[in-house]
Chains A and B, each alone.
Chain A
Amino acid sequence: MEFLSEFFARFVDKLQSPTLGFLIGGMVVAALNSRLQIPDAIYKFIVFMLLIKVGLSGGIAIRNANLAEMLLPAVFAAAIGILIVLIARNTLARLPKVKTVDAIATGGLFGAVSGSTLAAGLTMLESEGMQYEAWAAALYPFMDIPALVTAIVLASIYMGKQKTKQEALSKQEALSKQEVLSKQAVGAGGGYPSESEYPSSRQEYREQQGKRVEIWPIVKDSLQGSALSALLLGLALGILTRPESVYESFFNPLFRGLLSILMLVMGMEAWARIDELRKVAQWYAVYAVVAPLLHGLIGFGLGMVAHYTTGFSPGGVVILSVIAASSSDISGPPTLRAGIPKANPSAYIGSSTAVGTPIALALGIPLYIGLAQTLMGS
């Protein structure tokens, strides 16, 4: 009981942080039909600023860190990314009125990582005074890319199966017709087996060959996405150059203010997308509420394993949980839209932006920080 009451007190305390205040404020403003707008260009610039700052601070600190420690959390991050898609494939996809491709794409998006959620998580950790590994933010691509690749590969396999099923059906029809024809032909003096099968199978073979999903383009597309590019650029600059002066005077001081504006946009965007979610099956809303919390707890569990085996810090465990709970909102949607064109964007973008991201931000981050403090006491 005491454990729970302590945990609750901490949880409620975190709900009052500026990050969440602005997020909820954005939702309220949008719900009141206010004409308040943050220009698109500013939004994109803020995302760039936040991720380059996260990258820079990571890069600067990595210089004197032991990167061998990163191995286990990175493997866990990749495993979580793949696992999230598989979970969606085996739960959401099986629900009534949910199209399998849409479910796979939704899983891919929830498996992918949101730069803004990561930035919010880091900010809240810092304000709690929790220490975390410098390279923890660099776990981002390790989860993001495997999730997107898994989703696109699974969707292609599924679509391929659907196609062969249809072809098999039409082939069966053709065969039964042929039987009838050849029986008639035998009566009319010997029938030749039709030769139409050979080229058709070769054509199918070619199509199958052409349909093979190429993984490298998906990886490249993710790396070229605006969010990951900025993060990796920041990391590289932090490691290879000496950006401390510009970091101290420009990127770091602006970080919190920009983050709060970004949260405002996220809140407004979430409200605007709720309508989209109404058009698809209600199960997406249920998934979008449960998934971030469940994924985060999986991340937390694996993080704890790393904590006890390799001394992964409690702060690091929280970051792993936060990126597991987050669902991509900037780079993920275009990659999935191009990779799984048959999936309905309203389903996956709606569930991620309207419900998933706010849940991960408002409930997820405080929950994991509270859990870490209560369990590992830092």
Chain B
Amino acid sequence: MSQQASKLVIITEKLLLKKIAKIIDEAGATGYTVVDAGGKGSRNVRSSGQPSVSDTNSNIKFEVLTPNRDMALKISDEVAAQFFEDYSGITYLCDVEVLYAHKF
């Protein structure tokens, strides 16, 4: 049984992890995945894995599956409005097909 859904991806600074998780929860998403991320963006090359004196230089990538596009947009608008003026970050949406979705 597969199900159509939207996947919102947010790549941003690790510092914001808790705050963004809260926004996602409040928007009503049932869950999310977070992984460490590194790479190159408009603000600089930022990498993960090397010893850094504090977490101010690490990035994370959120993946949130939402049952509809509106919820995903609501989350990304909130995140962009609150943080993207001062912190590095990018968000994008994909249409995905979720397999074996027990609850969603």
Residues of A with Cβ closer than 8 Å to B? 37-40, 42-43, 265-266, 268-269, 329-334, 337-338, 341-342, 345, 349, 353
Q: Which residues of B contact A40 (CB under 8 A)?
A: 49-52
Q: Provided the pairs A40-B49, A334-B15 are in contact, do residues A341 and B54 lie with their beta carbons within 8 angstroms?
A: no
B56 touches A337 (CB 8 A): yes
Q: Which residues of A contact B57 (CB under 8 A)?
A: 345
Identify the interface centre among A40, A43, A268: most chain B CB within 10 Å of its CB.
A40
A333 touches B54 (CB 8 A): yes
For the complex of A and B, 3 pairs with smallest distance between CB atoms: A341-B86, A40-B51, A333-B54
B51 touches A349 (CB 8 A): no
Min CB–CB distance B40 → chain A (angstroms): 15
Identify the interface centre among B13, B50, B53, B87: most chain A CB within 10 Å of its CB.
B53
Interface residues of B in 28-56 (CB under 8 A from A): 49-56
Q: Mark B59-94, 1 if CB is under 8 A from A, else 0.
A: 000000000000000000000000101110000000
Min CB–CB distance A100 → chain B (angstroms): 16
A37 touches B15 (CB 8 A): no
14 chain-A/chain-B pairs, Cβ below 8 angstroms: A38-B51, A266-B53, A268-B51, A332-B54, A334-B15, A334-B54, A337-B13, A337-B15, A337-B56, A338-B15, A341-B83, A341-B85, A349-B54, A349-B56
Across the interface, name the chain A residue whose C-beta is closest to B16: A338
Q: Which residues of A contact B55 (CB under 8 A)?
A: 334
Query: Which of these, B15, B51, B83, B87, contacts A269 with CB under 8 Å?
Result: B51
Q: Which residues of A contact B83 (CB under 8 A)?
A: 341
Q: Which residues of B contact A334 (CB under 8 A)?
A: 15, 54-56
Identify the interface centre among A39, A332, A337: most chain B CB within 10 Å of its CB.
A337
Q: How distant is the Cα of A193 from the Cα of B98 in the complex, in angstroms?
A: 59
Residues of B with Cβ closer than 8 Å to A? 13, 15, 49-57, 83, 85-87
B53 touches A333 (CB 8 A): yes
Q: Provided the pairs A334-B15, A337-B15 are in contact, do residues A329 and B54 lie with their beta carbons within 8 angstroms?
A: yes
Across the interface, name the chain B residue whose C-beta is closest to A357: B53
Min CB–CB distance A59 → chain B (angstroms): 26
Q: How distant is the Cα of A43 from the Cα of B53 in the complex, in angstroms?
A: 8
Q: How distant is the Cα of A266 from the Cα of B53 in the complex, in angstroms?
A: 8
Q: Provided the pairs A341-B87, A342-B86 are in contact, do residues A353 and B53 lie with their beta carbons within 8 angstroms?
A: yes
Across the interface, name the chain B residue whose C-beta is closest to A329: B53
| Contacts A337-B56, A345-B56 known; 12 new A-B pairs at CB < 8 A | A39-B51, A42-B51, A265-B51, A266-B53, A329-B54, A331-B54, A333-B53, A334-B55, A334-B56, A341-B85, A342-B86, A349-B54
Q: How distant is the Cα of A266 from the Cα of B51 in the complex, in angstroms?
A: 10
A330 touches B15 (CB 8 A): no
Q: Provided the pairs A40-B49, A40-B51 are in contact, do residues A333 and B86 lie with their beta carbons within 8 angstroms?
A: no
Q: How distant is the Cα of A331 from the Cα of B56 in the complex, in angstroms?
A: 10
Q: Which residues of B contact A268 (CB under 8 A)?
A: 51
Q: Which residues of B contact A37 (CB under 8 A)?
A: 50-51
A330 touches B54 (CB 8 A): yes
Min CB–CB distance B60 → chain A (angstroms): 14
B54 touches A43 (CB 8 A): no
Q: Which residues of A contact B56 (CB under 8 A)?
A: 333-334, 337, 345, 349
Q: Which residues of B contact A337 (CB under 8 A)?
A: 13, 15, 56
Q: How distant is the Cα of A374 from the Cα of B96 in the complex, in angstroms?
A: 72
Min CB–CB distance B64 → chain A (angstroms): 22
Across the interface, name the chain B residue whose C-beta is closest to A348: B56
